[in-house]
Amino acid sequence: MKEQPVINLEAEKKEILKRYRALLSACKRTLEKGDKLLIRKAFEISLEAHKNMRRKSGEPYIYHPIAVAHICAEEIGLGTTSVVCALLHDVVEDTETTLDDIRRLFGEKEAKIIDGLTKISGVFDQSSSLQVENFRKMLLTLSDDVRVILIKLADRLHNMRTLESMKRDKQLKIASETLYLYAPLAHRLGLNAIKTEMEDLGLKYTEPEVFNEIQQRLKDTEQERKKFISKFIEPIKEILEEQGLKFKILGRPKSIYSINNKIKTKNVTFDEIYDLFAIRIIIDTPPENEKTDCWRVYSIVTDFYHPSPDRLRDWVSTPKANGYESLHTTVMGPDGKWVEVQIRTVRMDELAEKGYAAHWKYKDSANESQLDDWIRKIREILESPEENAMEFLDDFKLNLFAEEIFVFTPKGDMRTLPIGATALDFAFDIHTKVGEKCIGAKVNHKLVPLSYKLKSGDQLEVLTSKKQVPKEDWLGYVVTARAKGKIKDALKEERRKIAEDGREILERKFDHLKIDFTVSNINELATYFKLNTSQELFYRIAIGNIDLKHLKDFSQQQGKIVHRLGSIKKAESAPSLEQMVASARGKSDLLVIGENMQKIDYKLSPCCTPISGDDVFGFITINEGIKIHRVNCPNAIQLLSNYAYRVVKAKWTSQELISFLAGIKISGIDEVGLVNNITKIISNELNVNMRSISFDSNDGTFEGTVMVFVHDTDHLTELMKKLKKVNGVLNVIRLDGNN
């Protein structure tokens, strides 16, 4: 038996008090009369309620609520009510304290927030599919009181900070959920610091090797960066001081997650990323001078360094939908290096770091109304529930977390839509009836089709016709949840009307053949044609998809129709997903790839082409057995966060005799004999079989793709190392299945 560590209760008591005092000091700036007593009361109730509980790390459970309350006070800037609720956020769920006790001891507002937090604690339940209903509850509580979500984000951030003590599969699940939902939610609420930390921690647990490598590279280049920043800042500082501006200048590296994103999306190496850090100039100036002073600073910076004309972002004149305001430009700094410069005021900086919680401090009506607009959009999506849980979630993410574009009506009113929105999305955004009757649009006075993708600054006039009705292919033209929902509603209604006609046709046919028009006979017929519902049967009859001549093959016995070849056998029901999960997991809860597994069919997923040695997991599909995905597969975060219950841990056995197909992308300077040198290394030195090779050269550079059969990741790494040494080759990367 494992020996239990000796617990020093006295030392723990001291530590709890120390953490409680640190919490009080973080609350100082918002404390009013009587607040300290309320926080003390909440702390004592939480301490008593959790006294016999410990976290997975072995620490007293009370450390967690104190830490969550501390994040709320210090990092989000919330007040006493939120601190009280954060201290009590697990009490109702985990202990005998009830909501009525909270209401009696603190008040209605606190009880309501804690009720919201208790409801959403089960949003991601391990044992069932993604509980969209619970997720909807979470969003509805957001539209009641945004503090529920802010406390939930603080709770999730602390869980991410203490993920070390969890098992690997739990780490993967929690980190994936965080990247999939919580980080975008923090971003949408303008909590930049929390979003960045969540993303970095998410990467640390989903792709530890990648995280550690980038972290190490940032450490190695730190001194060089500091020198460069002070060299860059020097001349600007002088002029800003001369102009009498109060300011501070910071140079900070980009987050590890965003660096990794650039490496992936732009297919570049760490060394090729030119904007590894950003210079931030924060000026202290009264609200009426903010815009003018930001542009003054811009002018000073660009007097010294040449700006890149296509890299200017003005979020001072039109803030982002999450309230973010700043002026961004990329300039050519010393030593021929591009540098991103962000210019903002103290107020803008606080809003960028602390988001909407800070808006209350400034009571800026424009920003308040933006939050109201966002909450109104959430209500709208929740009111037209999507049957398909995944579609609902994807629509939600796309519409509420996506970056926006700004477009204008003919009268000059500004509308915000997600990037990728089309002319048809715009029509539905104006009004459902305008969308349903839309036949096209004029963008900047030129005629465009419904599927035209809008760009920021476009001015639109929608063209309509009374004869127009929504079509099935419209669903491929729109990205907003509102437009999708309205088109689906209209199509359902149209389908229902057509099905009514089909019902009448069938009723007449039954009448003619002297068959009773009963529910059981209709269902029997639907089963014969392998259809799920009677409405589908009626619809297909109406559009001529089903030939009713088949009815002659039926006779009626005691009021029931029977096929002349005997009664209709219903298809054997396929094993349920739960049965598949149980059979795949077996007793060991670990899928060993390469062993002779009975009755379990698995395939290597084409979206990420895993090979032996990759960190992988099995995903149980409904029709294709188990699919093996790499942990860093483009679809992994979505699968792990939404369908954790269908994920099976997996590891490789020795795969010496098996070859896996892997893709390599090679680029560099075109030289004579280069392709010959590359193929020699692949075929002769490492005895690797090639399936295909394609090279394309353009003005002295080349890019090629080679598909090869390898045994495992070591084999592939060795091959890539050798290819990098070939003269002229500058870059060698492994392809994902979707590259």
- Residue 707's CB: how many other CB atoms inside 10 A? 16
Contact 325, 362 (CB under 8 A): no
Report d(CA 620, CA 701) in Å as an integer.
Answer: 44
| Of 44, 93, 504, 601, catalytic | 93
Distances (CA, A) of 328 to 43, 154, 297, 555: 43, 29, 11, 77
Given 12, 15, 35, 94, which residue is catalytic? 94
> What whole-number distance in Å separates Cα of residue 372 and Cα of residue 161?
31
How far is it, in rounded angstroms, from Cα 506 to Cα 641?
46
Euclidean distance between CA atoms 490 and 718, whole angstroms:
57
Site of tokens 């009713």:
548
Instruction: Determine contact, residues 711/705, Cβ cutoff 8 Å.
Output: no
Placement of tokens 């002319």 in the chain:
423
617, 648 in Cβ contact below 8 A? yes
- CA–CA separation, 510 and 522 (whole Å): 10
Contact 283, 245 (CB under 8 A): yes
Residue type, 195: K
CA separation for the pair 381, 481 (Å, rounded): 7
Handedness of CA 25, 26, 29, 34 (dihedral sign): negative
Pairing of β 689-698 and β 647-652: unpaired
Tokens for 386, please give them: 């999507």
SS3 638: helix
Tokens of 574: 């396929």
Helices (H), 305-364: 346-354, 356-362
Helix (H), strand (E) at residue 689: strand 689-698
CB distance 632 to 207 below 8 Å: yes
CA torsion angle for 417, 421, 425, 427 (degrees, to 10)?
Answer: 70
Angle, helices 534-542 vs 481-512, to 10°: value is: 80
Cα radius of gyration (the chain): 31
Is residue 578 flagged as an active site residue?
no
Question: Nearest to residue 322, comparing CAs of 389, 377, 284, 393?
Answer: 377
Rounded CA separation 352/328 (Å): 13
In 296-403, the DSSP E strands lie at 306-307, 313-314, 327-332, 338-345
DSSP class of residue 221 equals T
93 is an active site residue? yes
Distance CA 139, CA 377 (A): 11
Q: Given strand 729-734, what is the order of strands in its sheet?
A: 689-698, 701-710, 660-669, 729-734
**Residue at 379: amino acid letter:** R
Q: Which two tokens stand for residue 95?
A: 């202990």
Sign of the C-alpha dihedral, residues 614, 617, 621, 624? positive
C-alpha 739/C-alpha 732 separation (Å) is 14
Q: Annotated active-site positions, please?
A: 93-94
